[in-house]
Structure 1
């Protein structure tokens, strides 16, 4: 059972990248505001957490709890204890990254992220492709796939054997076998949320503990079973952009939209 979405905080320019911090609060990006906000349960207002944020988008954490950011300023960074930022990656083969969009970290510390051109001007763009990358702990950056026009959401299966990536241009979600060394193989069309329209496009993705995949897109939040069959779509009052599991039992989904942040109670457990 999934409850109706409720707004928990609003009044923003374009929110993205929700992340539930294990200390019991939600972080999320407002990309054009160049700010990461912090929302605590029981409040309707959100506080500035990091400003400037490098026009952060996706937020996640490494296995040791370090908060990681995908930034439209062309970087992937970590948040230090004093809330300063340290750059982990900003170029590939000597060329500036486009605008890192979303990211996920595997339990061994390898970071996987998408790099579409949403946040870089044509004159500043140095890569002629939109990549899916792996960032290793030693700083090595490896291109995994360059077949998307606008790679966006990225997620791991519960056992970390599959990597899911969607394309905002087509709405397609591809599934890759993810090998121990962090390389990918066996590209497969898993599902599609449909082509972009005025209600949204393929964007943020997450999985739950039973292997279902959740993707924002046209019409709302699409839920797919482990075989790629769409089993439900949750509608919202505005276009939605991304999602994260939260609360102490990870049974609530927090969903970002341009103006608002929503939450939805479920009877399943997220990752």
Structure 2
């Protein structure tokens, strides 16, 4: 959301839209070719457009404004910044260890406390993003099949990953250093934070993949140790996996995809005293439809 506008991607139609949530309810195309490649290069792609978006406000960054949006681009296989005022777009991250990314899927911003080699502590803003296989999906083979993993191995980094880039001082003209958070998930997809917990959904539905069972939606929670110095992104530890099981006979497919965290105030009375605590709820698209998960259980 940007003021009274909803900014969203059409991944298949390859456009980025703005929907006025006020009285007009007008829908505008704010960028054609959101995925980045020319039409002749996207004839085989099932999802050539952009995917996840995140508003990015960095007044200290060169050329950056409160109207900047981080864009996950499938076709160009990169994370970019789009300036909504000028329409200008430039890459932030496109490769890891000299190899091109598969195609960023979803992105979230988080401010981390980082200690440098001299022991100085500073607050840095990072963009955390997932990089699964879906940019490789073909129109005629719109399923999670072994050919996707072949493309990852031959033309991508060799795995599906979760990464982060420091965008504290970023601008449209600057490429950031990409740091790996984890490469141990089969199909990392949606991503967000619950306070300081990093949560990533695993859209694992390919029958050829180990541990991918039809009807199971998974959300992996990663946490950092209490004291981390010289962090390069690798200090995040897999803490717990939340699973939701639905009988395949009762559903029509799907997987753990995009999601959001909501904080609900829960007020209760104990021995005449009223207590208020925050309850954290995860609402997600998942296998069979929509899942609501209580993170406090």
TM-score (norm 1): 0.69
Q: Is the 8 A contact 2:182 2:234 kept in 1?
A: no
Match of 2:119 in 1: none
Deviation, structure 1 residue 43: 4.8
Match of 1:46 in 2: 27
Q: Is the 8 A contact 1:25 1:38 kept in 2?
A: yes
**Corresponding residue SS for 1:208:** strand
Structure 1 unaligned spans of 5+? 1-19, 230-271
Which structure ranks higher in relative contact order (CA pairs < 8 Å, sequence separation ≥ 6)? 1
Q: Is the 8 A contact 1:63 1:109 kept in 2?
A: no
Deviation, structure 1 residue 219: 2.9
**Corresponding residue SS for 1:111:** strand
Alignment partner of 1:117 is 2:133: yes
Match of 1:131 in 2: 161
Q: Is the 8 A contact 2:15 2:32 kept in 1?
A: yes
Alignment partner of 1:37 is 2:37: no
Deviation, structure 1 residue 120: 2.2
TM-score (norm 2): 0.63
Structure 2 unaligned spans of 5+? 36-48, 59-65, 112-123, 138-149, 171-175, 205-211, 264-277
Match of 2:82 in 1: 79
Q: In the TM superposition, what are the counterparts of 1:1-271 in structure 2 within 5 Å?
A: 20-21=1-2, 23-41=3-21, 42-43=23-24, 46-54=27-35, 55-64=49-58, 65=66, 66-73=68-75, 74-80=77-83, 81-107=85-111, 108-120=124-136, 122-123=150-151, 125-137=155-167, 139-157=176-194, 159=195, 161-169=196-204, 170=212, 171-178=217-224, 181=231, 182-194=233-245, 198-209=252-263, 210=278, 211-227=280-296, 229=297
Q: Is the 8 A contact 1:163 1:178 kept in 2?
A: no
Deviations 1:187-220 (A, max 9, x none): 1233124478634211002112343222211232
Aligned-partner Cα distance in 2 for 1:200–1:36:
24
* Higher radius of gyration, 1 or 2: 2
Structure with the higher helix share, 1 or 2: 2
Aligned-partner Cα distance in 2 for 1:164–1:184:
15
Q: How large is the RMSD of aligned CA atoms in angstroms?
A: 2.3
Deviations 1:163-210 (A, max 9, x none): 000110042111011467454433123312447863421100211234
Q: Is the 8 A contact 2:262 2:281 kept in 1?
A: yes
